[in-house]
């Protein structure tokens, strides 16, 4: 078994050594320009077109992250990059779900307990206890109900919040109200106080969080973007914050990364920012997942995580 590996920023030697340990029967090598040798599997992130093009013997390609938009965007420009019939897999859950749960729950509680308001008061030297929010008035809506969305919803229901989700197809998660399709988006938004975005990046979802959508949320709503920067129209968010419709936002992803120092998002007093760290790939957990999936594929099974190239996730 031959495995080729390419990632522009990860520690290549670490990955190769641990992949070799997890799959001792395999020959794992770093892919470099000009390498056209046989490969059964490819592990990639932002791969050059030539790495995959023409490799008809590949049994599968693994994207080294939960998102696959970097590969799909290259496929739009170079349709022959991924040979027909070669399945593409994303990392289903390699510690990312727990990280997303930690991020979402901590931020929801931060807003629910009004710590943002107390921080603002502290800066003004004010000692003033504020009225408490109630859970009944703090409905949380999650855009996107895949693996990560389901886990975030599950963690928030445990805190007693009303939780709803919206996705392409209806879901059946315990204690979570499900909305599906464009015809139910307005109903999902109505009364939602905290909007958490975990949508996949597809042509249909680009720019979905715009002024029209934001205006359909409950007054003084909160926005948390943990998916992709292209989902959010940043100027529309700024306008909604300045109008008072949106009370605060927590942003982990942006249209341009790193976020340019000239961006007005940096200086807005009611926007908090993290540098795309809500859920990062944890190498050992990812390697365990990949090795188990490869073993499953070699047994002729159909493991979870395969990307529908038409849907984009």
Q: Note if 27 is an active site residue.
A: no
Identify the H or E element spanning 221.
Answer: strand 221-225
Rounded CA separation 233/238 (Å):
9
Closest-CA residue to 224 (of 196, 248, 245, 205): 196
Q: Which CA distances in Å does 16 have to 7, 10, 29, 78?
A: 11, 11, 7, 28
74 is catalytic: no
The one catalytic residue in 193, 276, 282, 311 is 276
Residue 235, class by beta-carbon neighbours within 10 Å (0-12 exposed, 13-18 middle, 19+ buried)?
A: exposed
Burial 80-114 (b: 16+ CB within 10 A, else e): ebbeeebbbbbbbbbbbbebbbebbbebbebbbeb
* 275: Cα within 13 Å, side-chain hemisphere: 5
Q: In what order do the strands lie in the sheet with 163-167?
A: 176-180, 163-167, 140-143, 194-197, 221-225, 246-251, 271-273
Instruction: Say which of 18, 164, 193, 228 is annotated catalytic.
Output: 228
* CA distances (Å), origin 144, targets 162, 168, 199, 227: 16, 8, 4, 9
Active site residues: 228, 276
């Amino acid at each position: 078994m031959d495995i080729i590996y390419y990632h522009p920023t990860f520690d290549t030697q670490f990955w190769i050594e641990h992949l070799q340990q997890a799959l001792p029967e395999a020959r794992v090598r770093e892919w470099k320009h000009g390498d056209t040798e046989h490969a059964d599997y490819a592990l990639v992130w932002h791969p050059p077109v030539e790495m995959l093009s023409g490799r008809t013997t590949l049994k599968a390609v693994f994207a080294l992250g939960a998102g696959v938009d970097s590969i799909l965007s290259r496929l739009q420009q170079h349709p022959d990059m991924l040979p027909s019939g070669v399945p593409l897999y994303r990392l289903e859950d390699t510690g990312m779900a727990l990280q997303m749960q930690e991020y979402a729950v901590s931020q929801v509680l931060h807003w629910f307990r009004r710590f943002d308001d107390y921080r603002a008061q502290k800066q003004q030297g004010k000692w003033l206890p504020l009225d408490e929010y109630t859970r009944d008035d703090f409905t949380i809506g999650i855009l996107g109900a895949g693996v990560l969305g389901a886990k975030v919803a599950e963690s928030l229901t445990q805190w007693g919040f009303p939780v709803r989700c919206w996705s392409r197809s209806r879901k059946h998660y315990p204690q979570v109200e499900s909305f599906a399709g464009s015809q139910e988006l307005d109903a999902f938004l109505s009364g939602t106080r905290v909007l958490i975005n975990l949508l996949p990046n597809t042509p249909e979802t680009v720019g979905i969080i715009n002024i029209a959508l934001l205006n359909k949320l409950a007054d003084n709503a909160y926005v948390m973007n943990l998916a992709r920067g292209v989902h959010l129209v940043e100027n529309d968010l700024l306008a909604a914050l300045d109008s008072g419709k949106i009370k605060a936002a927590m942003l982990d992803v942006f249209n341009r990364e790193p976020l340019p120092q000239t961006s007005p998002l940096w200086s807005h007093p009611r926007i908090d920012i993290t540098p795309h760290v809500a859920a990062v790939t944890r190498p050992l957990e990812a390697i365990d997942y990949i090795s188990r999936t490869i073993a499953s594929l070699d047994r002729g099974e159909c493991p979870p995580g395969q990307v529908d190239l038409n849907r984009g996730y």
